[in-house]
Amino acid sequence: MEQDRHSGQVGIYIHIPFCEKKCFYCDFYSVENRTQQNQFVNFVIKEISLFAANRNQTPSADTVFFGGGTPSLLAPQELEAILDCLKRNFKISDDAEVTMECNPGTVNQQSLAAYHQIGVNRLSFGVQSFFDDELKFLSRIHDSKQALEAFALARAAGFENVNIDLIYGLPDQSESRLLLNLEKAAALKPEHISAYNLIVEHGTPLYSAIDSGKIKPLDELTEAKMYELVMSSLEGKGYRHYEISNYARHGFECKHNLKYWNGEEYIGFGPSAHSYFNGTRWWNVSNLSSYISALSSGHSPISAKEKLSETQLIDEFIMLQLRQGKVDLKVLHDKFGINLDSEFISYLEKAGHVSLGRNEIVLTKKGFTVCDEIAEQTLRRF
């Protein structure tokens, strides 16, 4: 039995690995073959129970996030079985944020009403675009009409906290098309919008298409300009830019994702899920068959573990702070006993990348476009 040394409430992540069709830009672990779906539900319940049995105390949790894959491919009763298991093994807050990612092409009025009834209170729709040609390029299974219908059905089912995911920076995408996508999303009045620049990940069909010259990506200057347009447009529509790709109306920031960005604890279940708990990070095998096989034998499906060093903790603090558009200089000193030198801060300020706040540096819009470079430069100071 492990001795828990954590404090506060953890976040719980459940990775649902099934997709009706894998998108050609996605590198998250997922499978199109759903023959093991019922079996998977039983084994993720077993993993949760196994984790809890090895604890010396029952962890408290105030967020649950069903990600994937496509969690909305699970029947409401399957999702309910997992939630019931979590409630038996964790102290889940009465007001916990319970998020489920949804593909607009996989839900209907009945399923959304059922998800809401069993306790899901936040939806994240993978809309990606409101234009059918862009959706076809991204190999999404839904069209723009289904996206609009799914959002309306969610409201009718009683959901008052809904996120819309968008992807921009597609090859040949124009600025006017980007702005129209943002306007269409904001017109629906979701509580939260996530806008991601299209990232070319190794091992994806998109990477192969670009590598072979079949697709020409946008240049970095154009992508940076588009990012600035996204920031200006959404902030102008009442959404606060609180993380590099995330925008929310007041009070609707994603509590679960804030745990990742604030270096708080989270526990993941399901193939490829990651955890950070008691100062240790671990991750599960990224293979459904191996995941089921391990649990069938009564073993944990953990693939590897690492204890974070002081250097890693500093690096992650800086990077996660910058993702949220700032570096809290007081926390940096109080937590790690280090200071960011004034000469470097002055350099960033003169470059137009940061402004000075009280005990913190704050990224400008220009600074957000070069966030990774600033993080790299900052880490070199220590």
Q: What is the pLDDT of residue 108?
A: 97
For the cut 90, the answer to whether the pLDDT of residue 266 exceeds it is yes
Strand 280-284's sheet: what is its strand order? 240-243, 246-248, 192-197, 162-168, 122-128, 91-102, 60-68, 10-16, 266-269, 274-277, 280-284, 302-307
**Least confident segment among 1-5, 172-176, 252-256, 279-283:** 1-5
Confidence bin at 283 (pLDDT 50/70/90): very high
- Highest mean predicted confidence (pLDDT) among 20-24, 172-176, 231-235, 278-282: 231-235
Q: What is the pLDDT of residue 62?
A: 98
pTM of structure: 0.95
Q: At which residue do the structure tokens 């096989």 appear?
A: 293
Q: How many CB atoms lie within 10 A of CB 5?
A: 8
Task: Please name the fold of domain 10-261.
Answer: TIM Barrel (3.20.20)
pLDDT of 113-153, one tens digit each? 999 999 999 999 999 999 999 999 999 999 999 999 999 99
In the chain, domain spans: 10-261, 310-379
Q: What is the pLDDT of residue 25?
A: 87
pLDDT of 347-376, one tens digit each? 999 999 999 988 999 999 999 999 999 999
Round to whole Å and give the CA distance between 275 and 306.
Answer: 11
Q: What is the pLDDT of residue 211?
A: 86
3-state secondary structure the chain: CECCCCCCCEEEEEEECECCCCCCCCCCCCECCCCCHHHHHHHHHHHHHHHHHCECCCCEEEEEEEEECCHHHCCHHHHHHHHHHHHHHCEEEEEEEEEEEECHHHCCHHHHHHHHHCCCCEEEEEEECCCHHHHHHCCCCCCHHHHHHHHHHHHHCCCCCEEEEEEECCCCCCHHHHHHHHHHHHHCCCCEEEEEECCCCCCCHHHHHHHCCCCCCCCHHHHHHHHHHHHHHHHHCCCEEEECCEEECCCCCCHHHHHHHCCCCEEEECCCCEEEECCEEEEECCCHHHHHHHHHCCCCCEEEEEECCHHHHHHHHHHHHHHCCEEEHHHHHHHHCCCCCHHHHHHHHHCCCEEEECCEEEECHHHHHCHHHHHHHHHCCC
Structure tokens of 239?
């959404």
Residue 168 backbone zone (phi > 0: left; psi -120 to 50: alpha; other: beta): beta
| pLDDT, mean over the chain | 95
Confidence bin at 257 (pLDDT 50/70/90): very high
Q: What is the pLDDT of residue 161?
A: 98
Q: At which residue do the structure tokens 């590598």 appear?
A: 211
Task: Please name the fold of domain 310-379.
Answer: Arc Repressor Mutant, subunit A (1.10.10)
pLDDT of 39-84, one tens digit each? 999 999 999 999 999 888 899 999 999 999 999 999 999 999 999 9
